[in-house]
Amino acid sequence: MIKKGCLDIVQAKCENCTDCILAKTRKNVVFSDGNPETARIVLIGEAPGETEDETGKPFVGRAGKLLNQFLEEAGISRENDLYIINTVKCRPPENRVPTDVEKALCERYLTAQIDIMNPQAIIFCGATSLRSFWEDKKVQISKVRGNWFNVTVNGKEYRAMAIFHPSYLLRNHSMEEGSPRRLMQHDLSVIKSEILGDRQECSTNPFNKELALV
């Protein structure tokens, strides 16, 4: 419970945050989802949408449901393998992209979450989260997705990969070879095999380790 305890402190601060104008219109601060004690991967999206703002959980609307399907198909457990967060923790009105000021004011929560989680890998889900850590602020996901690179957060290097945002995949239905959905399947299967291994089972129960190795 060590990570959870530290994250709870950051969450309490975040839930009272009024640093930017998003605090005025939010219903809930959307801090995170997943089990911080078992997650080896931090997945970072853009910002909460309407359903996320209502529920206080990231990726629970239409895009989140599609993400769940891709994760399940790849054998990645949303509950146990991932700690899911957003670049900004409050919903921008009309789901607009968060501004540079909003991102900058929210960065301390994001970097604290990464620091405490100390993940084996970071997944940047969509351009907004990627550009927060990439030098070229106009970088396209399609140019860099699927390849590992290193990012430095508070002086520590992490392995990272960018993947398409599920909202983009909601607008792109093709399953043809080379299509965004097929590339998403590919990228998640690489993440699954290189970070999580080929185990079928994922649980906090240490006795499941044996099962996992079968």
Binding site for ligand URA (CB under 6 A): 45-49, 52, 58-59, 61, 63-64, 86, 126
* Greatest Cα pair distance in the chain: 52
- Cα–Cα distance list, 175 to 163, 180, 182, 190 (Å): 16, 8, 6, 18
Report the residue number, 15 or 194, with the smaller CB distance to ligand URA: 15
> Which C-beta is closer to ligand URA: that of 50 or that of 194?
50
Nearest distance from C-beta of residue 67 to ligand URA, angstroms: 8
Q: Which amino acid would we find at residue 116?
A: I
Give the nearer residue to ligand URA in terms of CB position, either 69 or 208: 69
Q: Cβ of residue 53: shortest distance to ligand URA, in angstroms?
A: 9
Closest by alpha carbon to 126, among 74, 161, 178?
Answer: 161
Taking the complex as a whole, the smallest distance from the CB of residue 91 to ligand URA amounts, in Å, to: 9
Q: How far is CA 45 from the centre of its chain?
A: 5
Say if CB 58 and CB 91 are below 8 A apart.
Answer: no
In the complex, minimum distance from the CB of residue 64 to ligand URA, in angstroms, rounded to a whole number: 6
Smallest gap from residue 191 Cβ to ligand URA (A): 18
- Residue placing its CB nearer to ligand URA in the complex, 77 or 203: 77
CA dist., res. 95 & res. 98, Å (int): 8
Nearer to ligand URA, 89 or 192 (CB): 89
* Least distance CB 51 / ligand URA (angstroms): 8
Using Cβ positions, the residue closest to ligand URA within the complex turns out to be 45
Find out whether 188 and 180 touch, Cβ atoms under 8 Å. Answer: no
Q: Rounded to an integer, what distance in angstroms lies between the CA atom of residue 145 and that of residue 47? A: 20
Run of H or E including 68: helix 62-74
Choose between 29 and 183: whose C-beta lies nearer to ligand URA: 29
Side chain identity, residue 148: W
Q: Which two tokens stand for residue 181?
A: 């959905």
